Structure 1
Amino acid sequence: MKRLCFLFLGLLQFSCSSQFVGKINGVSFVASRDKVTQENITPVKQIYADHAAVMPFGFIREVNSPNIVFNTERQWFGETRIGAKQYIEQLHKNKIRVMVKPQIWIWRGVFTGGLKMESEADWQKLEASYEDFILTYASLAEESKAEIFCIGTELEQFVSQRPEFWESLITKIRGRYKGKLTYAANWDEFGKTPFWADLDYIGIDAYFPLSESKTPTVEELKSGWQPWKDKISSVSKTANRPVLFTEFGYRSMDYTAKKPWLVDRNEETVNLEAQANAKKAIFESFWEEDWFAGGFIWKWFINHEKSGGPGDNRFTPQNKPAQEVIKTFYKLYE
């Protein structure tokens, strides 16, 4: 705990002596059963976040199933069109900009990057279903004046196998939505994504492996970032587009930077310092770069007082030391 106190003192000294251009300082605002109230949004403002990702969901039964079920009465309120609209309205009332980020959930949490059909007929069914899904929320984004729209999240096989579909889809989205577009590529996918030049941001879900240490230091993590940072900046330069971390985050557990994408329920020991160090390292590595637009923390639950806390080893930084790191840097770059 003493080491964490010194960390925060260092952050405060850094914030007082530096001035930088504003960034997209976002949170991934997790869908809930309930409507959003001012009480839910005030904690977001208190960490100086100025953007929030609103994430309606569609569901697929199997990794080779072509039908997306979405916007149904069986879903949680925040996962539906009417719920997403209510979230956006409340966030906008608080001068928080919004990225609408429709996402797919495959039953039992199977990784969406493997979504792949076994026949041409099924590919065509999936394309029709996905187009219906994504254009529904592109229309919502335009109607609600959302600032950014994300056309997909971690769909590597779908993108690589059906590039013509995605070219056509982007054109159709542009016909409905006039704001900025991105796509949330997985950390090991972004270098192969073919349509960055057709979008406004190179979107990356930034779960890059950085260190195998139990409690990596900030400097160790920054060193781990360097080769990835070189590749990211190269892709940005080639496409002539800024980079947006559509998701970034670390679990508050031992070895948090070894495989940061892990979402399983493993019982790795809670490690608040490792999470705080990882947050500080990513801010110090990227937020000063002019080719970097900012990012969205994964993840932020609307019921702040009941979320996270010192005994929690999950991704949320809420009510943990990492929250103070975020607040310090978001204030610095507002």
Structure 2
Amino acid sequence: MPFGFIRELSHPEIVFNTERQWFGERKVGVKQYTESLKQHHVKVMVKPQIWVGRGAFTGGIKMTSEADWKVLEDSYTGFILTYAELAQELHVEIFCIGTELEGFIDNRPEYWKQLIVDIKKVYKGKLTYAANWNEYDRTPFWEYLDYIGIDAYFPVSDEKTPTVEACRNGWLNYKPDIKAFSETYKKPILFTEFGYRSVDFAGKEPWKSDRDMNVVNMEAQTNTMQVLFEEFWNEDWFAGGFLWKWFHNHKDAGGENDSRFTPQNKPVEDLVKAQYAN
């Protein structure tokens, strides 16, 4: 997952692939990790993402002038084609053209359609876009992609420790629409991100990563994850998903006192392993 950085929501220039970034956020890191994963027969999606200063939500990116929009478009094209070319070089199975960029897309839809054309000139694998859970039904270019990508942080339960039954009922608010959307476009659904934290109220606002949410609740994480697997994994219109978040230093990741997203060294890890072993 290579990253590009912009200073604020209205700043048009994306900084990427610099020595100041973490190893895995740069070309050299993406290349090394992808080659290692392929040696272990793991399928790969390269998913370049934007990080906005102070953690502002990327869906709110919006320029204040036509000139700045043009600068942003040129900058984003350079960013995304850099990694599309790398994905082709590495024979990556899926390339994601963007993540949760609703405002950018709403304001510049024709740019995005041309960007897809340009990406296809350099990358010959499957394409998707990672739409936020409440954005996917307004994304205007699914017909040009191979998968309908959704970052699947749907709220499924307000309970402190969500039960399996509550989570299953919660999915009734979304699953029929997701299925119908897949059928309309005749494209499979891909969860470009999914996951739950091991905290109280894990199913209420699953996208939240606030540090003050720190009351560990392993059962909440396990129940929410179990239901997601049971509801989607065997559907013929569902292509699978990419779990948020797994760290390479497994023995030091997660654990019984960890309240973050990773399932590593937690009860839910066995559930995840069993699901991906099938």
Bucket of the pairwise TM-score, normalised by the shorter protein:
over 0.9
Q: 1:208 aligned to 133, 154, 159, which one?
A: 154
Aligned length, in residue pairs: 278
**Aligned match of 1:217:** 163
Q: 2:50 aligned to 104, 117, 142, which one?
A: 104
Q: 1:64 aligned to 10, 20, 27, which one?
A: 10
**Aligned match of 1:287:** 233
Cα distance between partner residues in 2 of 1:327 and 1:223: 25
**Aligned match of 2:21:** 75
Cα distance between partner residues in 1 of 2:176 and 2:259: 30
**Aligned match of 1:172:** 118
Matched, 1:161 2:103: no
Deviations 1:295-327 (A, max 9, x none): 011000111111110101111111001111111
Say which structure, 1 or 2, has more relative contact order (CA 8 Å, 6+ apart): 1
Q: 2:85 aligned to 120, 126, 139, which one?
A: 139
Structure 2 residue matching 1:166: 3-state secondary structure: helix
Matches within 5 A, 1:1-334: 55-331=1-277, 333=278
How far the C-alpha of 1:108 sits from its partner, in A, is: 1.3
Deviations 1:214-233 (A, max 9, x none): 11111210110012001111
**AA in 2 matched with 1:237:** E
Structure 1 residue matching 2:116: 3-state secondary structure: helix
Gaps in structure 2 of 5+ consecutive residues: none
Structure 1 residue matching 2:19: 3-state secondary structure: coil
Query: What stretches of structure 1 move > 3 A for 4+ residues in a row?
Result: none
How far the C-alpha of 1:100 sits from its partner, in A, is: 0.5
How far the C-alpha of 1:172 sits from its partner, in A, is: 0.4
Deviations 1:114-146 (A, max 9, x none): 011111111110000000000000000000100
Return the TM-score normalized by structure 1.
0.82
Cα distance between partner residues in 2 of 1:208 and 1:291: 18
Gaps in structure 1 of 5+ consecutive residues: 1-54
How far the C-alpha of 1:267 sits from its partner, in A, is: 3.4
Cα distance between partner residues in 2 of 1:263 and 1:114: 18
Deviations 1:270-316 (A, max 9, x none): 00001000110000000111000000110001111111101011111
Cα distance between partner residues in 2 of 1:301 and 1:190: 27
**AA in 2 matched with 1:90:** S
Cα distance between partner residues in 2 of 1:232 and 1:117: 31
- Identity %, equivalent residues: 62
